[in-house]
Amino acid sequence: MDKTINITLKVWRQRGPKERGAFESYKLDGISVDTSFLEMLDIQNEILINQGQEPIVFDHDCREGICGMCSLYINGHPHGPDEDITTCQLHMRKFKDGETITIEPWRSAGFPVIRDLMVDRTAFDKIIQAGGYTSINAGGAQDANAIPISKEDADEAMDSASCIGCGACVAACKNGSAMLFLSAKVSQLALLPQGRVEAAKRAKSMVAKMDELGFGNCTNTGACEVECPKNISISNIARLNREFITAKFKD
């Protein structure tokens, strides 16, 4: 027999971007500890729908921690109390019987609420569109050994590339800064010869876009790094600062 727990959910409900939101409480009994957090919300929504009420709106897609779609600020942590995982990988065994779980949307001026727990993260797409790519004609794939890349750089670039753009860094930041996201996206290309060609231009235009969209100034608290589900290091932010400052001095 599975172990089950009884919980109370305190969920942020907001009907639209311009409407005022408020918390609503729901009692949920007999939840198996093996249930994932999003499955638990599905169970709650099923109950709401059967009662003829509006289900709780939240973002989700792949449910295996790689798409960056799920969000949720759970009990004071983006992606909940567990470490280095996304909300969809969080399980109810992390909660105690009788616990009240507070679920909120990402709160930052850069991420306005669309409805309930769903926020608008288009700003991240706009930052990527400002330069988070290489604009070369790819042609046929060349021999893998034709461009030598050190193991250290390859590893570092892969680590930076693991950013899924979920926005937990912005949600955790007291300054609403998107620097961790931006620095990962700049680093994954700046570390490799293919991305190096446009590195200076990329750093400048992506930072300009981030500032234009109203994200805050990084004050190095490191909250982003702690809450990042993919363990992106703030050493990427130092790299971004370096890329940006040297690019500006070369102008």
Partner 1 sequence: MSWLLNSSIGRKFIMALSGCALILFLLFHMSMNLVLIFSVEAYDMICELLGTNWYAIAASMGLAALFIVHILYAVVLTLQNRKARGSDVYASSNLSPVEWSSKNMLVLGLVIVAFLVLHLYDFWYKMQFSELFHLEGAEPHGSVIAIDLFSNPVHVLIYLIGITALWFHLAHGFWSMFQSVGINNRIWLPRFKVIGYAVATIICVGFAIVPIFFLAKHFLCSSCM
- Separation of alpha carbons 121 and 119, rounded Å: 6
Using CB under 8 A as the binding rule, whether residue 102 contacts partner 1 is answered as yes
Site for partner 1, residues 133 to 162, rule: CB under 8 A = none
Query: Which 3 state secondary structure label does DSSP give 108?
Result: strand
Per the listing, tokens 């876009």 go with 209
Q: How many CA atoms lie within 13 A of 163 on its CB side?
A: 29
**Are the beta carbons of 123 and 215 closer than 8 angstroms?**
yes
25 is an interface residue for partner 1 by CB under 8 A: no
Size of the site for partner 1 (CB under 8 A): 53
Residues in CB range of 159: below 8 A, 6 or more apart: 231, 232, 233
Please, what is the minimum distance in Å from the beta carbon of residue 138 to partner 1?
31
245 counts as binding partner 1 under rule CB under 8 A = yes
CA 199 to chain centre: 24
Q: Which is nearer to partner 1, 49 or 245 (CB)?
A: 245
- Regarding 8 and contact with partner 1 (CB under 8 A), the answer is no
The one among 118, 172, 192, 232 contacting partner 1 by CB under 8 A: 172
Q: Which residues bind partner 1 (CB under 8 A)?
A: 10, 12, 23, 73-77, 81, 102, 104, 107-110, 113, 172-177, 179, 207-208, 210-211, 214-223, 226-227, 233-235, 237-246, 248
